[in-house]
Structure 1
């Protein structure tokens, strides 16, 4: 491909490396000043100032100012000034609208700047990266002519080079700050704190960070050949990892007929796990395929692995879709499930296209995995469209989830006692609170009462603790030793607040009966993933939660609390210090959980 610094077609808008450097440094400095201005408006200790006082506007500005300049840094020298200005304006406007919508639809009692949720930030960055590298090769191809769809090797070269530049530029910026901190520490040794004070000032740190990042982009851009060399090495190394993930996924799929899917569903995150595996396959397949040219084919073993991995995508996506459909059928829509469904939709495109590319030679003579190229472009366009729809009013996950959950309640798919009012109160933004206000006026007394309780709650825990209408649950508890029986009445339906309530299918608990205080009566120790809870039987025969043992992690022995309970070294020990009785009540001694010192080793 032609280097934009020496493009004779006139498409490069700046003259030489000096013009590119000035443009990039100007963009970096402008970004730093804008971000510092936004920071200042939210950093006032006594009160926020404009624009932080307007959450939608502030979120819009933060998202646009954080990502648009990065795109401009990548586009300088590759697009004409006019094309770059138009694309920059469009990108900034779209990012601002996404940020505005995200802040506008939220409703939180602890709503603080920058008013943006992580999924919006992450997916916006992904959409901008993909869109930019769909546009640049088409608007500014090497031949100097515009096309709606560029050659695949142009997409490959532009996107992967930019990815390497981004990683190197972030690493350069991080190394710069490490050196600054090292220098500050050296000066502090001799009693000079000016550098420590300087790098602690936001007016210095924010603009300098953006400026250093812009310098890194410029330095990596003027040595395009070196970047391509780094990219080639990185792709070669990653491509050999395809063999590892292909063997692992194939083994997983071959084992499923013998193990069944119950274990996968019990994880509670089956769809996310399977989609992550599919994403890893897609990325590594592309590291092996690269631009698809005949002179750049990988070794035979990798070509076989690419075909096998491409076929394995289909069962993975089918499992993800099946698991997601089961969860939605059982519990309805949530924002996470809608986002997962969108990812699965993109996965379907990849699975179909890659599967066709892998199997088409059996009935049609084609170049090795050639249909993969069209699939990548189509999936990239679809990904951008899906992201824009998800984080805009068009397919807002919170709004869709609220509508589905309320509809399930009204048609009786979920009872008023089991309905998650906390989701509407704490997790569904303004749409959820609006729906909760409507339910509070319901003619059904139970629905109205529980909705009002949710409106008054400050957090989910308080809501569960105060809601006596939540039905009790029979806990799932494993006895230890295996052949032992737990005391009668211990495994009984309990309500929220009791540690046994949270012993569900996915979080099994382990319990053992022991006489801890020597009174001739057994107590019960119940271990989950975090603590060992102590239960004692009261005068009424009921088992009461007395307190918890919090175990310090000392780096030796079992790391799982359940395994600790099985360990023969776990035994009651008398307290070294007594408790105190005071005028305000008893004071219980809580010893420091120090780790034992290692034994001295004789030389």
Structure 2
């Protein structure tokens, strides 16, 4: 494409060395004094080190997830955001604006901690909370900075601030990560030399955590000082996006034109059709806003290509409607889950954008960028409100999902035997636990095995938390006591000793273990079976004693959904069922057609 067609900026627009020095000096004079930066980083580092140690030593607030998440959120967020946007002339106003926002984020962290304190799927929950908090922080600091300095809130100023803050944040994370890696490298090198003093110092939380906060604080200071480089980086990225946007619009229009001939069935067969369409809308909006951010004064393309892109923006509501159909179809079949609620939320936000843009195109055509700017400013506040509410009781996706799944059971859409107890215990946190306790009180007499299985699912969660905690603090998990049937005396004593000493057998921790002595082939001699329960996944072995020791073979084991092995073992009479077909033996070649549902191994070909 020619320069005239894309209207790319000239290279001589770059700043010269004299202006660079002046801008660096001016930016440094605007920032708060370095002494204040050092004090802020020191307080932040010491506090985070104490919070880290409280988890290691199991003292408050490390023993209370509600307070722990709230305090960690505050002492990571408030100092970092303050250093990112505060200047000499407005730091007092920034503190007044940031403080209530940081307290609000910390309160939401406390709510998340309370919801997950007893039965957490903590990794995914903290990831969602962290991501939502990052988005909220990036949105909030732009508005706080403009309001404190009594500047007009328009899209161009928000755009410049968002790109600059994003670049500074990313390079600060990279710099701090490299710094952390160097500390670990130093500890390893001193360890090789046998100098334990420096090794222990570099690995001590009281040293490396304050060191990281100092590194992060002064990297923010440095990168703010050369903020013009962040602007140049964003300009380079926007220039690259100018080439990519026409390609993306071409794919978008081409895909839509082929849909009437192919239909939607192929799209739904992927089981990720709505997800892909939402990504297409997201990328289109991101590219368009990265390029068209200066209102009607911005003419990045030739008018022919501009009209082509205009068409691509105008058809985005069609993709929004198709993706909604796909999401609602899954909801109608299987009810709400946190993933589907996230999909609906993302769809709603993206649809507000594309419908606002479509309204601007219909009303103003080529001048639609006037409405685009207004839509972006308003939707920025909507996104900020959403990422805050989604971590609050107002939009608790796990509570909504738990209510939806139980409603399907009460309405008869799913039977008690098919209710996914594992999903409630592993994915729905405290709301799932409350729903299961209510269900237990209703089915205690009618379905005692289901009640036992509910209790067992939550024991799995507790055991998983206990093992993970012990692993983090360097402790070994206590051995799990095996359950014997019919009793321990019937099980071979030599095999008990062998299993206790077998490192391979004990290398993988299990939730429960069952040891059965039962005569399977009716030869008046009991076979020894071991069945291990790995959080709901069962593995079985049959053991035989040879001249060289004990050997084992894997056995097929099928536990139907919502069946409890321990309950069945205690309350059900064991039955031995003859296989309907004899096993065919051809000089060592065995043909067994009894389990027709067993997976047939495939021969690999070169």
User: TM-score surpassing 0.5?
Assistant: yes
Tell me how far 1:373 sits from its aligned partner.
1.0
Counterpart mapping for 1:146-157 below 5 A:
150-157=153-160
Aligned length: 474
The answer to whether the 8 Å contact 2:175/2:219 transfers is yes
- Aligned counterparts of 1:390 and 1:447: Cα–Cα separation in 2: 36
Per-residue CA distance 1:184-242 (angstroms, 9 max, x = gap): 66667777676554432222221111211111111111223232222211221233222
| Residues 451, 265 of structure 1: alpha-carbon distance in 2 compared, 3 angstrom cutoff | farther
Q: 1:437: which partner in 2?
A: 437
State yes or no: 1:134 paired with 2:143: yes
Q: 2:65: which partner in 1?
A: 55
Q: 1:72: which partner in 2?
A: 82
Secondary structure of the corresponding residue to residue 440 of structure 1: helix
- Aligned counterparts of 2:306 and 2:89: Cα–Cα separation in 1: 36
- Aligned counterparts of 1:381 and 1:518: Cα–Cα separation in 2: 75
Q: 2:29: which partner in 1?
A: 16
Tell me how far 1:51 sits from its aligned partner.
0.5
Counterpart mapping for 1:111-260 below 5 A:
117-140=126-149, 145=150, 150-180=153-183, 196-260=199-263
The answer to whether the 8 Å contact 2:66/2:117 transfers is no
- Aligned counterparts of 1:301 and 1:326: Cα–Cα separation in 2: 39
Which residue among 332, 335, 339 is the counterpart of 1:336? Answer: 339
Which residue among 20, 23, 36 is the counterpart of 2:49? Answer: 36
Secondary structure of the corresponding residue to residue 32 of structure 2: helix
Calculate the aligned-residue CA RMSD, in Å. 3.7
Per-residue CA distance 1:270-296 (angstroms, 9 max, x = gap): 333322222222211112113336256
Tell me how far 1:519 sits from its aligned partner.
5.7
State yes or no: 1:264 paired with 2:272: no
Per-residue CA distance 1:143-171 (angstroms, 9 max, x = gap): xx355xx1222111211111111122222
- Aligned counterparts of 2:358 and 2:167: Cα–Cα separation in 1: 28
Which residue among 543, 546, 549 is the counterpart of 2:596? Answer: 543
TM (norm. structure 1) is 0.69
State yes or no: 1:81 paired with 2:91: yes
- Aligned counterparts of 1:107 and 1:262: Cα–Cα separation in 2: 43
The answer to whether the 8 Å contact 1:289/1:298 transfers is no
Secondary structure of the corresponding residue to residue 454 of structure 1: helix
Structure 2, unpaired ranges of 5+: 1-18, 462-532, 539-557, 563-582
| Residues 522, 318 of structure 1: alpha-carbon distance in 2 compared, 3 angstrom cutoff | farther
TM (norm. structure 2) is 0.69
The answer to whether the 8 Å contact 1:421/1:451 transfers is no
Q: 1:585: which partner in 2?
A: none
| Residues 447, 337 of structure 1: alpha-carbon distance in 2 compared, 3 angstrom cutoff | farther
Per-residue CA distance 1:104-153 (angstroms, 9 max, x = gap): 112655787x995211111111112112212322332xxxx355xx1222
Q: 1:27: which partner in 2?
A: 40
Per-residue CA distance 1:14-70 (angstroms, 9 max, x = gap): 9935734333333333222221111010123xxx11101111111111222222222
Higher RCO structure, 1 or 2 (CA under 8 Å, sep 6+): 2
| Residues 494, 308 of structure 1: alpha-carbon distance in 2 compared, 3 angstrom cutoff | farther
- Aligned counterparts of 2:179 and 2:340: Cα–Cα separation in 1: 40
The answer to whether the 8 Å contact 1:353/1:375 transfers is yes
Higher helix share: 2
- Aligned counterparts of 1:452 and 1:226: Cα–Cα separation in 2: 62
Q: 1:578: which partner in 2?
A: none
- Aligned counterparts of 2:31 and 2:133: Cα–Cα separation in 1: 32
